[in-house]
C-alpha cells in the first residue's frame, strides 16, 4: 500500500502514511492537477498542496508480507 512524503521548499516534511481501512484494499493515492498535487486518503478526503511550495514528492510502497 502506498505512503507519500512531500518535502516543502521551506524545509518542512509532510507525511501521508498508509493507515488502511476495513472492508477492502483502500489506500492513499496521488494525482497531479494544474498547480497542485492532490492526495486522497482511504476515506476519500483530499488534501491539495500548491506545487509552487513543493520541492519533492516521494511514494513508497509498503510490502503486504
23-54: per-residue pLDDT in tens?
666 778 899 999 999 999 888 999 999 999 99
First vs last C-alpha separation in the chain? 11
CA 46 to chain centre: 9
Residue 19, pLDDT score: 77
Residues β-bridged to residue 38: 31, 48
Cα 63 to Cα 14: distance, rounded to the nearest angstrom: 21
> If you average pLDDT over every residue of the chain, what do you get?
87
Structural domains of the chain in order of their starting residue, each with its CATH number: 2-61 (2.30.30)
Q: What's the per-residue H, E or C state across 16-61?
A: ECCCCCCCCCCCCEEEEECCEEEEECCCCCEEEEEHHHEEEEEEEE
Amino acid at each position: 500500500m502506498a505512503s507519500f512524503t512531500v518535502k516543502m521548499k521551506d524545509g518542512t516534511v509532510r507525511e501521508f502514511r498508509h493507515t488502511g481501512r476495513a472492508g477492502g484494499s483502500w489506500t492513499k493515492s496521488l494525482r497531479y492537477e494544474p498547480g497542485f498535487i492532490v492526495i486522497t486518503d482511504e476515506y476519500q478526503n483530499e488534501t491539495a498542496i500548491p506545487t509552487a511550495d513543493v520541492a519533492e514528492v516521494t511514494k513508497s510502497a509498503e510490502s503486504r508480507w
